Structure 1
């Protein structure tokens, strides 16, 4: 096989091979750490070759599965392909693939849903056993063996350090203009030797632009030429625009009250169409010279960087539509000094989130009248995606905001309920709830005060009378008056949906 011009380290020349050859080196029952965060920077060839190998082995009556660890969700080439052939025993820390979701909910795949800031340190602590293999996409290999990271960093630093064996995918579809955009911090340590992380603003660079790699652990180098697989974002619908409007009005109020500076505080935004709608609203809003410290840089933040509304953005990965990815690549020199990509143990670090004073905006599946939020489960027992980084940010942010439409499934589901069917974020970590109906500011309120504000401001009109009726009866008959609850009715809405297909009576 000929040499590959992005593989400049001489010691890797004799390790260049096909994806099929590399996949054959991954042992059964191995814990495999793969790169990738929301589809960006994921290996493109080796996982597909591994899935094909597993399918062939299963056809021969042989059992073969791996433990799959990543940064967060990945592309169909990883989660979808490996789940389809039932090749994953344990998945962590986050997924959003429909085939993987089906495997998890039918019970054929184990899933450990983890705060994203915890993953790297828990692997270092040895909580999850040994990491056997790392499969990491990079943009290039320097003459001294250091690696130019790709469009995501995620947990790649930890995978490269902890794995016994390393497989590199060197993808020449990724722009060499990415070189210098990353900031890989090697100053973390195990307790009790930890020291404060030297960062005071989102744009600070505290590490190195390249990933270190022990060349002796590299067992294969696979040249690839494939683009990232991120989904396009849908245009914002009317409800999303209304949510954005409520938030911007709230921010203006907080600035007038002196609780936020004129350029707000660093923004954190979850992934998805609702988040992009809020960013689009901010791009048209009155605030200037904004900054972002978040997990993923989406289309909305890219647009804000172009217009100058956003001065800088720190993240661990891109999550761009195909159109935005093309625009970014064509103008990468413009973005290089405005964007910093970091390991997710830094992008999601609770100490830094608290220190920088973030405004955290994340989506939810449902909230209850007392302010508890479910962001992971449908009807209590079926996983949707996972908690991701929302918990990292919610508990430590200056402002903790959760957003959703007030109803779903054409009105058959209320996203404001008497009691959430699964709790990811307790009332203690939730300050602001927003739906298209309005905004509920829960700061400093007792549970009974929160209930009234949530029902009045966030509930859909079709469900508001039912919620009021439930609360008033609970207030009269519940044995405790601090958080009045009718235990025999609290989850009856969810049960009614399971039984009839609607939460409505």
Structure 2
């Protein structure tokens, strides 16, 4: 469908302009809220035009940077282009772009890593500063001015509500059949006026299918026809399949023990190949009539919907490989009845997560023997991506899994260490740790009991003797026996890697 036919509103038609003209309306120093969540639904043309403008001004000796707010990670056309132009002074709340990461770790870009469920309320409270411009991709505009969301919602509702000015990108490559797949709840309130959120099952619809904005705030409409970042997923390897096997076996045991129903509880799955391996395993496994309440719907969940294993999935974004996107678009009427896309303040809402009783499965960089998890930093000081929504789910889920291979860098790094070099999820929020070596159920265990389980079940055999030795000596020499540590050695593994390239 030509993009022009997706803008049947006269006032918006009058504001159609080029991406260059729209980018020229964004002032230096502004906080700009852009759509996008895990490589989907982000504006494609305006950020690139803005980056070119920045490069031209920088070459002329003028300073031009913005504060960049999104839903989560975006794509090279947005994060990558603006970072290459050295145009971002502050980035939040999550990123995965290599150029952005390099500049953050070099101290050239400020970065605020935020729980994704907190972003909208922090913006509403004014803690993040004023939002000057929102740049939001939509799939179309209705004759009455309502906006058809595209492949992600993220923080779009909040950006449209709070921004002084709005630029809309209308993308004709977003399937017209997305209309009706979204559920946008406008019932949130600022304390002390909050009310309960009337959502009790993943498939509940409690809001509107469309985004609303004040037409007077719209300063530009840009027509685009560009794909999302549809990255292929690697097939599961032996390590990820073994991790998936441990989780599925554990869930079967929980059903047999009467702690889970036969159709489990709603699933939440983080992003990545291990998460997809778990979903592929569940698709082949013994459980039926499953549901999901998650952030991102990836290939694995789409396959589960296709097979009938998964009857309903709620998310805030679609993040498919090219092959999965082709399947989704070809059968979008089928999927529209089984997928609901919500703003991330709903998909990640702690109270809703607690009420639904989710089974949360998220990746980590490392865990220590007492169950603390680092999911964001390499060697304690270099950011990888960010906490994303893992904290929202881990603290509030019915079951909380953290998954990783037991080693990294061809065996030079142990992902089970005496003490994590950065803590994102404390021992109080981590219930189950899984590697290809095994699974440690930490529920109801004391720190010293957890240490023995993590070492024996999750650590790689090459590192297990050194971990046992550390723990045994800590029990004898630490000033306290509750969580015994040898402080002079607790981070020595990381220090040794930095100096020699190996932890042992």
**SS of equivalent to 1:219:** strand
How far the C-alpha of 1:85 sits from its partner, in A, is: 1.0
Task: Trace 1:211-360 onto structure 2 (pairs within 5 A).
Answer: 211-360=211-360
How far the C-alpha of 1:447 sits from its partner, in A, is: 0.1
Distance 2:311 2:327 in 1: 18
Distance 2:53 2:231 in 1: 27
* 1:414 partnered with 2:418: no
- Whether the 8 Å CA contact 2:3–2:172 is kept in 1: the answer is no
Identify the residue that residue 191 of structure 1 maps to in structure 2. 191
Distance 1:173 1:128 in 2: 33
TM-score by length of structure 2 reads 0.99
Distance 2:37 2:415 in 1: 28
Task: Trace 1:359-378 onto structure 2 (pairs within 5 A).
Answer: 359-378=359-378
Distance 2:183 2:260 in 1: 28
Deviations 1:219-278 (A, max 9, x none): 000000001013211111100000000000000000000000000000000001010000
How far the C-alpha of 1:110 sits from its partner, in A, is: 0.2
How far the C-alpha of 1:365 sits from its partner, in A, is: 0.1
Distance 1:125 1:394 in 2: 25
Identify the residue that residue 471 of structure 1 maps to in structure 2. 471
How far the C-alpha of 1:4 sits from its partner, in A, is: 1.2
Identify the residue that residue 148 of structure 1 maps to in structure 2. 148
Identify the residue that residue 39 of structure 1 maps to in structure 2. 39
Deviations 1:43-75 (A, max 9, x none): 010000000000010000100000000000001
Deviations 1:112-148 (A, max 9, x none): 0000000001100000110000000000000010000
Count of residue pairs the alignment pairs up: 503
- Unpaired runs of 5+ residues, structure 2, are none
**SS of equivalent to 2:4:** coil
- Whether the 8 Å CA contact 1:75–1:230 is kept in 2: the answer is no
- Whether the 8 Å CA contact 2:3–2:224 is kept in 1: the answer is no
How far the C-alpha of 1:282 sits from its partner, in A, is: 0.3
Give 4+ residue runs of structure 1 displaced > 4 Å after superposition: none
Deviations 1:147-179 (A, max 9, x none): 000000000000000000000000000111000
Identify the residue that residue 441 of structure 1 maps to in structure 2. 441
Identify the residue that residue 125 of structure 2 maps to in structure 1. 125
Deviations 1:9-56 (A, max 9, x none): 111111000000000000000000000001100001000000000001
**SS of equivalent to 2:402:** strand
Identify the residue that residue 86 of structure 1 maps to in structure 2. 86
**SS of equivalent to 1:4:** helix
Identify the residue that residue 170 of structure 2 maps to in structure 1. 170
Identify the residue that residue 401 of structure 1 maps to in structure 2. 401
Distance 1:12 1:246 in 2: 54
- Whether the 8 Å CA contact 1:38–1:230 is kept in 2: the answer is no
* 1:77 partnered with 2:77: yes
**SS of equivalent to 1:131:** coil
- Unpaired runs of 5+ residues, structure 1, are none
Distance 1:97 1:230 in 2: 15
